[in-house]
Chain A
Amino acid sequence: MKQNRITLAVASVLSLVVLAMLFVFQVRTTEVAVVTTFGRISRTVGPGPHFRLPLIQGVHKFDKRIQVHRSAFEQVYTSDQQVMLVAVYVGWNIDDAVTVLNRFSGDREEAIQKASHNLEGMIRNAYSGVIGRHPFSHFVSTDAKQLQFVEIEQEIQARLQAECRSITNGLNIAFLGIERMGLPESVTKEVFKNMESERERLVTAITSDGERQASIIREKANFESAKILAEADAAATRIQGEADKQAQESYAVFEQAPVLAIFLNKLKTLELLLQSRATLILDDTTSPIDVMKQLKPDEEKK
């Protein structure tokens, strides 16, 4: 009896598993699935386990994650008739699985491949149409106001999205950006020539700028230096004036006896004048030599 019960339990579990495998299918969180009954679309289902009738109903699962498609690097004309090369990248995903199934394929890989191929032409139309309305300076410019890089990307994306809606291909454009910008090969050669002459012009400009700046600095230095010295001279003259004023104030004392003052001054000057290494030539009338002369007759008398 016990053995029978175990056998029964195992059998039921196995039957359940088999039945589940037959009647239930699961859709991953990154997927979306379309259920068809006798080949006709019945419903779309999201992530989780779902019921189906085996043999009668078919399930087509699609990857709804974003994938990035990069366009070819191709020539386009700007509104000012300049030729440039542009490649864009587009992040897209399956928005409407039923449309994708009807339009492209029921096989997930094949559907993605065909959708991607379908987008390729649409992307090219969208960006060449938008770029044709903008001058080259909207892509690269030294004037930030001219630049419309981001706006152009948004325009292309809006146009592509609108086109996807208009032809109802079931695809959503998540984002779009410019991946590369370039010039035709022959133009790059011309750019190099321009760049080279620009470099030569820069060398000349830099050299003369260096000389000019250096000369300005030197002249400024000379001017500053002269100014400093002139100010110092002015200060020195002021000091001198102050000194003279102070001296004049002291000289007032001498007015008590100008004769004495002049006499003392003369003595001092004389002393300073004949301070050292002087050779004096005196005649016998000079004081005190004159004393000698005065003494002579007395000595003779003796």
Chain B
Amino acid sequence: MSDEPEHKHPPAPAPEISDDAGSQALSDALKRSYAIVKVVMAGLVVLFLFSGFFTVGQHQKAIILRFGTPVGEGKLYGPGAHWAFPPPIDEVIKIPVAQAQSVESSIGWYATTAAAEAAKQEPPPTESLNPARDGYLLTADENIIHARATLRFRIAEPGLRFALDFINATNAVRHAFNNSLLYAAARYKVDDALTHDQAGFRETALARLERLIAEQGLGIVVEQIENVQLIPPRQLKDAFARVGEAELRRGKEINDARSYENQTISKARAEAEARKNASEAERTRLVEFVAADVERFTNNLPSWRANRMLFMQQRQSETLRIIYTNAQETILAPRGAPGRQNWIEINREPPRPKVLERPERPKDDHH
């Protein structure tokens, strides 16, 4: 029984000790978890704040909407890194202002596909144009042409209109572009649009487009209208080609006539110059000739006055000497008795040809 008092003590300490240890372990675990949660929370806060950084590209501008309203009355953030409150507080809208964009017209071309066009396997032209499939433009003289072009544009600064005013601004631009082509065609005759004044057609379309951009507040700047293709309906390709050929022929004919004109007039000018020059030369010759005569007369006058007979005899003799000296042939025909006739044969021999035929020399034989 001596063990009894020992049995009076409650035997609980052992389980109590194990309870404390459990609580301790739980408490430790909770502390650790709490620490982890704290770290995770802090991490999340940091991540949340860092998620506010954003980069604006080289060709972009950005605006920040805070609770839906533009910050700083639509202040633009240029290229580089910026910070905004993460959503849902702020929303960053990037606008590609400096980047060239393009739209293609969509109303004036016949039904085809890019692949078929590239492979040159387009469907052959039908007798008529189906409005559901084929696009075309009506010209001022109620003819039909096909047209297509590409519009290159940039978003005009600050770019808010293009970015914020339209649900699909590019589509709105395309409609305006189509309208400007339609507008230009309606005031151009088929031949002017296709051949004589394509530049004018393009200018008219561009002017109309600029006006629409301003009126409709599209907020873009046109860089250029490019790849403009204006063609007659494929159904009339040959007929239009014949007109082109006729125009070429006309051009050639007019050119020929112009060169004839140039030649004829140049020839006439040269001939006129020659005639005038000849006349001038004749005048000079005559004047010189007369001057020489006058000089000779003046020089001889004193001698003649001194002794007229002698002077005349001397001069006559001098002249005859010269004549006789120069004469090729002199025939002396003494005056015969009355009733007797002298016959002189002139040109007794026909003139000999100057080129003498050389007798062919026999080849030397060096054997």
Which A residues form the contact surface with B (CB < 8 A)?
Answer: 10, 26-31, 47-49, 63, 65-68, 70, 73, 85, 89, 91, 136, 139-142, 144, 147, 149-150, 174-175, 177-186, 188-189, 191-192, 194-196, 198-200, 202-203, 206-207, 209-211, 213-215, 217-218, 220-222, 224-226, 228-229, 231-233, 235-237, 239-240, 242-244, 246-247, 250-251, 253-254, 256-257, 259-261, 263-265, 267-268, 270-271, 274-285, 287-289
Contacts and interface: CB of A to CB of B under 8 A. Distances in A.
B99 interface: no
Contacts of B275: 229, 232-233, 235-236
B32 interface: no
A142 B315 contact: no
B256 to A, nearest CB: 7
B131 interface: yes
Contacts of A261: 297
Interface in B208-264: 212, 215-217, 232-233, 235-236, 239-240, 242-243, 246-247, 249-251, 253-254, 256-258, 260-261, 264
Nearest to B321: A288
Contact of B176 (A139, A177, A202): A177
23 contacts: A26-B88, A28-B91, A67-B166, A68-B171, A73-B131, A73-B132, A175-B212, A181-B138, A192-B236, A203-B242, A203-B246, A207-B246, A213-B257, A214-B253, A218-B257, A218-B261, A229-B271, A240-B283, A244-B286, A247-B290, A278-B323, A280-B327, A283-B333
B260 A28 contact: no
B67 interface: yes
Contact of B167 (A66, A142, A191, A284): A66
A30 B268 CA distance: 81
Nearest to B312: A263
B294 A240 contact: no
B148 interface: no
B349 interface: no
Greatest chain A CB density within 10 A among B171, B175, B271, B278 is at: B175
Given A280-B327, A280-B330, A287-B316, A240 B271 contact: no
A268 to B, nearest CB: 8
B297 A247 contact: no
B140 A141 contact: yes
B249 to A, nearest CB: 6
Interface in B279-306: 279-280, 282-283, 286-287, 290-291, 293-294, 296-298, 300-301, 304-305
A280 B166 CA distance: 118
Contact of B69 (A48, A142, A144): A48
Contacts of B236: 192, 195-196, 199
B147 interface: no
A228 B269 contact: yes
A284 B335 contact: yes
A276 B323 CA distance: 8
Q: 9 shortest A-B CB distances, which residue pairs?
A: A210-B250, A232-B272, A225-B268, A236-B279, A243-B283, A214-B257, A221-B261, A217-B257, A199-B239
Nearest to B132: A73
A140 B140 contact: yes
A260 to B, nearest CB: 5
A177 B250 contact: no
A282 B332 contact: yes
Contacts of B212: 175, 177
Contacts of B287: 243, 246-247, 250
